[in-house]
């Protein structure tokens, strides 16, 4: 098989790329296909080979509905390209397997290898192939079961079927291939977990749950993550671990909030949905002279945020003055969009402390808040009942102006980011995104968004070539396990649950690190102490 071999720079994330290549859908005769192979490993260096070759072209494609296998193909040599599944060795000289169109597809065509003087080496090689690997199998097509006897009455109809161009009712499962040649296109990496029977020792475990899914978009990944989180929380609540464990109610779907909605209503991309109706746009109800006092921006968005402090209005005002005069408030005072406007609701003052709004403006503001549907989220507000819809003595109202543009969240006018996070009570447990699988999109982002030079982009030539060779739409998600445990146990900080806690000097008392290395360790990494 002709192959072109290239060395890959060490900057390539080999595991991630092997995953993409191993899960790639393949078609016979489509040309260049790539795979990664590890040649050798020594010290801290591993050499990877980037192999590009051509898949053998077949006369029929059993997985293509427009090129379905017909009885006329029986007895012919065909080549099938797909994913190896359900490999079973029934005896020393008999191996069965299934070749499927995708790694998770159920339908497929059966492959049989019988031990003989010619097929012995093929059988040994076939046994070494990992399941879920992309393979090319060439062999003779046969009926899966004994061919029915042909009677004179049925001879005419069979002849018509063999000569007809109309698609038959046969499927790949009705046939089998007696293999004569097997080639591995992309060997499935052992680093990727497949199946419930996989076992990993302590040295192979990590403190992050990482999921990569081929042929998936963000919605499918979010469904999988939601199912995982709901199941784990349900099991933990059944086990009742600890007296202070947190109760979670997952009787309904986890709500999804867009980045624009989170920033506009909560001012954070990690919102705590227990606090509802936090931020509201009020530029339509405040007078123009107040807008001019808040900002010099033309046609600004002005947002209001109200806090219930339940304190003496004079003490609240004094606290605000002291804070705004302190160095901690420097970033607020120097905000290029304008400093915040701060008001304390006081029934004993003119217009109840809202005199800057004017009579009509203060009434419109109170009417805006009273008309809010605070109970729409069906969540008990920790600020107390009606805290979001009414003004009370000592309430703090903050106004802030900003330009009349959407929140970006990593997006630009050229590219929209497609990413997502899992947030529980204001804590980000994990995040993920839909990955770039197009070479042209990747080049566009590097050149036009990241403003990388042509010389710098040439360092990623291997990445562009691999993406151009073929890559499925794919997405992923990673959950920080320590953050998740902190939320499950009701802890305020991950320091209370972290697996390898360190002191203020950066020392890990559990394992005694950092410490002196031994001579053997120096030799392993090519180091020498002085």
518: left (phi over 0), alpha (psi -120 to 50) or beta: beta
SS3 content of the chain, % helix, strand, coil (to 5): 30, 25, 45
CB 52 within 8 A of CB 469: yes
On whether both 26 and 88 belong to a single domain, the answer is no
On whether both 79 and 156 belong to a single domain, the answer is yes
- C-alpha 397: how far from chain center: 38
Is residue 231 a part of any domain in this protein? no
**What distance in Å separates the CA atoms of residue 440 and residue 448, rounded to the nearest whole number?**
12
On whether both 39 and 142 belong to a single domain, the answer is no
504 pLDDT band, cuts 50/70/90, is confident
Tell me the pLDDT tens digit for each residue of 191-218. Answer: 555 554 444 444 544 456 777 777 788 8
Q: What is the mean pLDDT of residues 445-474?
A: 89
Is residue 462 a part of any domain in this protein? no
On whether both 120 and 8 belong to a single domain, the answer is no
On whether both 71 and 154 belong to a single domain, the answer is yes
On whether both 112 and 174 belong to a single domain, the answer is yes
On whether both 331 and 307 belong to a single domain, the answer is yes
Q: How far apart, in Å, do the first and last CA atoms of the chain sit?
A: 52
User: Which of 295-309, 368-382, 501-515 has the largest mean confidence?
Assistant: 295-309
Greatest alpha-carbon pair distance for the chain in Å reads 107
Is residue 178 a part of any domain in this protein? yes
Is residue 356 a part of any domain in this protein? yes
pLDDT of 232? 80
453 pLDDT band, cuts 50/70/90, is very high
Domain with 138 in it: what CATH number?
2.40.50.140
Tell me the pLDDT tens digit for each residue of 14-31. Answer: 333 343 444 444 444 443
How many structural domains are present in the chain? 3
On whether both 76 and 16 belong to a single domain, the answer is no
* Final residue belonging to a domain, choices 402, 433, 458: 402
Is residue 477 a part of any domain in this protein? no
* Final residue belonging to a domain, choices 383, 402, 421: 402
On whether both 316 and 384 belong to a single domain, the answer is yes
Q: Would you state the structure tokens that stand for residue 19, as one six-digit string? A: 């995953």
Alpha helices in 200-297 (DSSP H): 218-239, 259-266, 288-294
Tell me which residue range forms the domain holding 318.
270-402
SS3 letters across 78-120: EEEEEEEEEEEEEECCEEEEEEECCCCCCCEEEEEEECCCCCH
On whether both 373 and 335 belong to a single domain, the answer is yes
pTM: 0.52
Is residue 142 a part of any domain in this protein? yes
On whether both 45 and 72 belong to a single domain, the answer is no
On whether both 288 and 176 belong to a single domain, the answer is no
Is residue 453 a part of any domain in this protein? no
**What distance in Å separates the CA atoms of residue 420 and residue 270, rounded to the nearest whole number?**
11
Which range has the worst mean pLDDT, 8-17, 132-141, 392-401, 475-484? 8-17
Is residue 79 a part of any domain in this protein? yes
Residue appearing with tokens 């109610």: 249
pLDDT of 103? 52
């Amino acid at each position: 098989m002709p192959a072109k071999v290239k060395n890959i720079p060490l900057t390539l994330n080999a595991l991630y790329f092997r995953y993409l290549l191993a899960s790639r859908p393949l078609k016979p005769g489509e040309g260049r296909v790539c795979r990664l192979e590890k040649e050798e490993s020594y010290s801290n260096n591993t050499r990877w080979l980037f192999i590009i070759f051509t898949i053998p072209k077949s006369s029929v494609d059993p997985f293509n509905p427009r090129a379905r296998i017909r009885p006329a193909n029986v007895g012919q040599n065909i080549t099938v390209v797909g994913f190896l599944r359900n490999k079973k060795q029934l005896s020393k000289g008999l191996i069965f397997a299934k070749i499927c169109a995708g790694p998770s597809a159920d339908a497929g065509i059966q492959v049989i290898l019988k031990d003989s003087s010619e097929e012995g080496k093929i059988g040994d090689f076939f046994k070494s192939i990992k399941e879920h690997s992309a393979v090319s199998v060439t062999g003779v097509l046969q009926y899966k079961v004994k061919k029915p006897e042909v009677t004179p009455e049925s001879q005419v109809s069979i002849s018509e079927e063999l000569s007809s161009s109309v698609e038959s009712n046969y499927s790949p499962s009705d046939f089998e291939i007696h293999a004569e040649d097997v080639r591995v296109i992309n060997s499935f990496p052992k680093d990727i977990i497949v199946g419930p029977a996989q076992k990993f020792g302590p040295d192979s475990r990590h403190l992050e749950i990482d999921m990569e899914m081929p042929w998936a978009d963000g919605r499918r990944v979010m469904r999988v993550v939601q199912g995982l989180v709901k199941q784990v929380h349900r099991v933990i609540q059944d086990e009742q671990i600890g007296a202070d464990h947190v109760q979670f109610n997952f009787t309904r779907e986890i709500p999804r909030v867009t980045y624009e909605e989170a920033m506009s209503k909560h001012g954070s991309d990690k919102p705590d949905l227990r606090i509802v109706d936090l931020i509201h746009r009020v530029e339509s109800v405040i007078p123009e002279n107040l807008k001019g006092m808040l900002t010099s921006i033309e046609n600004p968005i002005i947002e209001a945020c109200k806090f219930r402090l339940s304190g003496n209005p004079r003490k609240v005002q004094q606290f605000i003055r002291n804070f705004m005069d302190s160095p901690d408030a420097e970033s607020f005072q120097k905000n290029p969009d304008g400093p915040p406007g701060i008001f304390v609701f006081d029934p004993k003052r003119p217009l109840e402390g809202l005199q800057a709004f004017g009579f009509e403006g203060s009434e419109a503001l109170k009417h805006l808040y009273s008309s809010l549907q605070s109970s729409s989220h069906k969540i008990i507000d920790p600020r107390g009942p009606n805290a979001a819809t009414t003004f009370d003595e000592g309430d703090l109202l903050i106004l802030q102006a900003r330009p009349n543009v959407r929140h970006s969240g990593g997006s630009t006018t050229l590219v929209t980011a497609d990413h997502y996070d899992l947030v529980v009570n204001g804590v980000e447990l994990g995040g993920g995104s839909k990955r770039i699988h197009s070479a042209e999109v990747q080049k566009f982002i590097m050149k036009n968004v990241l403003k990388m030079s042509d010389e710098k982009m040439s360092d990623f030539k291997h990445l562009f070539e691999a993406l151009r060779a073929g890559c499925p739409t794919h997405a992923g998600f990673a959950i920080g396990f320590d953050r998740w445990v902190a939320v499950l146990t009701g802890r305020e900080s991950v320091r209370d649950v972290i697996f390898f806690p360190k002191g203020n000097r950066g020392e890990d008392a559990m394992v005694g690190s950092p410490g002196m290395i031994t001579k053997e360790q120096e030799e392993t990494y090519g180091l020498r102490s002085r």
